[in-house]
Amino acid sequence: MNISNPPDFDAKFEGFFLQMVVPGLEQRCQEIVTQSLGNDWKVKAIGDNLTEFEITPNQDGLSVKEAWDKTYYLRSLPGVVDAEPLFAVPITERSDWEQESRPLVGGLETKALALSSDLDWSLKQLRVFETWARFFPDSNQLPGDGIIIGHPDTGYSEHPEIFVNLLPNVGYDFLKGDRDAKDELETPPTEIINNPGHGTSTASVIISPKGGQASYPSGKAVTGVAPGAKLIPLRVSYSVVLLSVRNLAEAIEYAANQDVHVISISLGTGFSNQRLRSAIIYAQKRGVIIVAASGTYIPYVVWPAAYDEVIAVTGSNVRREIWIGSSTGIQVDVTAPAESVWFAKVRKKDGAIQYNVEQGSGTSFSAPFVAGVAALWLAYHGRDQLIQRYGAEKIPFIFNQILRDSCDKFPTWKPGRFGEGIVNAEKLLAAPLPDNVTQSVIAPGFALSQHSSIDNGINTFAHLFEPQLLDTQPKANFVGTIRDDLSLQSRLAQLLHTTETELPKRLKEVGQELAFYLAATPELYKQFAASLRSQTDDESSKPINLELLREMLLSQGVSEVLKTKLGT
């Protein structure tokens, strides 16, 4: 079988994550890098445990294949616990994951629902106005006052709806490595999908002051959930589609070091990487609540939302239904408005900056709504008082638990798909805090135990192909059984030319690379998904699907190790 038109794939290599066996081995790590990669590489310690390092090239890096080949070699060296490549992975505009052409995340323009003409419908759904009246009666204290939000996105603009509450002097541009996080509002030809101004739009639903701050062509205005909060802009991407794992991880760490209280992430990737999770844990230990979008028109919950430590938010519409473009699944924590949301919009046309207030759809808006609610909760209880009472690192878990417990179910709610329901800010702030430290640990631990780890082995693939596996599971029991789906294990074993008994070992060896290609390439994803759906079909269809998939994978130029495991 010949693949005349192999799937497009253009990931950009950015470096390596390397974990050593014990602390204090920075010199040994440097020696390994020099011997394995050469002299022209930078080694930087990251995290708190003194065993993790970010390895980056000073000049041009490696091809995707070379990066994976080097990864396997690094993993084989004495003293190395783990090595993983870092990539920026684009998703093409024709990302037809199922049957339609669908882009990845945020800012989608859709026909507004008639009921969504109410400028404040999103805040009303979250019961924000009732929360303001009940818990912030002092007109001299704006809701969210004193709370600082870190915002990794495309940067900021001077849009009147957000500028008054920005902290641009504390911001950072991780694309250029300087302190100016201003969104240049350009559409570079190297970007597959461009969404300039995305950072302005997502910031506005958090911090925009009540009522319009200027006159706009639409004649509309936007109000943020926490107009008393301040926001630090962190520029990590030209768009929300070509996501640099390294930029996002460094932005999270930077935000934590700037003593932010909440981080709102309206972007995502299909590539799980320990470098990113290490940054999330670093921030969480410092008491930072991290909220992220579940994804838009992608069949699985994207990372970092999929991590247990992150509050994953899927999207609703004005009718309290799930928006059709929302990524849903077991990893989702809560639901918030996504469809036909009002937000601040900035454009550059013929060199002139244009400001407006418009409507659009995407879980890119769902996450900042919840980040704003988190700011209200912290402001009401007093973050310093919470730290004194519980310790900083427990705050994200306490908030996660109370947030989930206070959600509202809705008529079309389903277990394991939309989290615990639509966020209710009033019930959240009215809920009592845990009486003691023991309760504050046990309760969040119980909530997060509903999520299986998806960082390794079969769980990664169960997460990626959850929609297909749901079709084969009894609806009442799928949450507990999806990770043990036999059809998934069978297909992976066939693909990797091994037995189901030996599959865990094989996935430990090459599972991350295989998942990387399946998650980032729609054609490969669809082919493997088709093999799962065909489990009840004639047996003769299965080898055909998997053989085609093998050829498609090989056309990508996979590593020599994975090539061997594919049976070639």
Catalytic status, residue 76: no
Catalytic status, residue 139: no
Cis peptide before 304, with omega less than 30 degrees from 0? yes
Tokens linked to 357: 């207030």
Q: Which of 151, 198, 261, 451 is catalytic?
A: 198
| Phi and psi torsions of 121, nearest 5° | -60, -35
Q: Which of 153, 183, 308, 333 is catalytic?
A: 153
| Separation between Cα atoms, residue 254 and residue 283, nearest integer Å | 9
Please report the sign of the dihedral spanned by the C-alpha atoms of residue 154, residue 157, residue 163, residue 169.
positive
Which secondary structure element, helix H or strand E, spans residue 57, and what is its range?
strand 52-57
> What is the number of helices (H) and of strands (E) in the chain?
20, 14
CB atoms closer than 10 angstroms to residue 317: 24
Q: CB under 8 Å to 315, separation ≥6 — which residues?
A: 294, 296, 322, 323, 325, 326, 335, 336, 337, 338, 339, 361, 362, 363, 365, 366
Q: 529 with 465: CB under 8 angstroms?
A: yes
| Separation between Cα atoms, residue 37 and residue 62, nearest integer Å | 10
Tokens linked to 451: 């999520």
Q: Which of 95, 364, 440, 559 is catalytic?
A: 364
Which secondary structure element, helix H or strand E, spans residue 443, and what is its range?
helix 437-448
* Sequence-ordered strand ranges (E) for 256-340: 262-265, 289-293, 311-316, 334-337
Secondary structure class of 32 (helix, strand, coil) = helix
| Separation between Cα atoms, residue 11 and residue 219, nearest integer Å | 42
Secondary structure class of 323 (helix, strand, coil) = coil
Q: 301 with 463: CB under 8 angstroms?
A: yes
Catalytic status, residue 198: yes
Tokens linked to 475: 């609806």
Q: CB under 8 Å to 110, separation ≥6 — which residues?
A: 325, 339, 340, 360, 361
| Separation between Cα atoms, residue 18 and residue 559, nearest integer Å | 19
| Separation between Cα atoms, residue 365 and residue 204, nearest integer Å | 9
Return the active site residues: 153, 198, 364
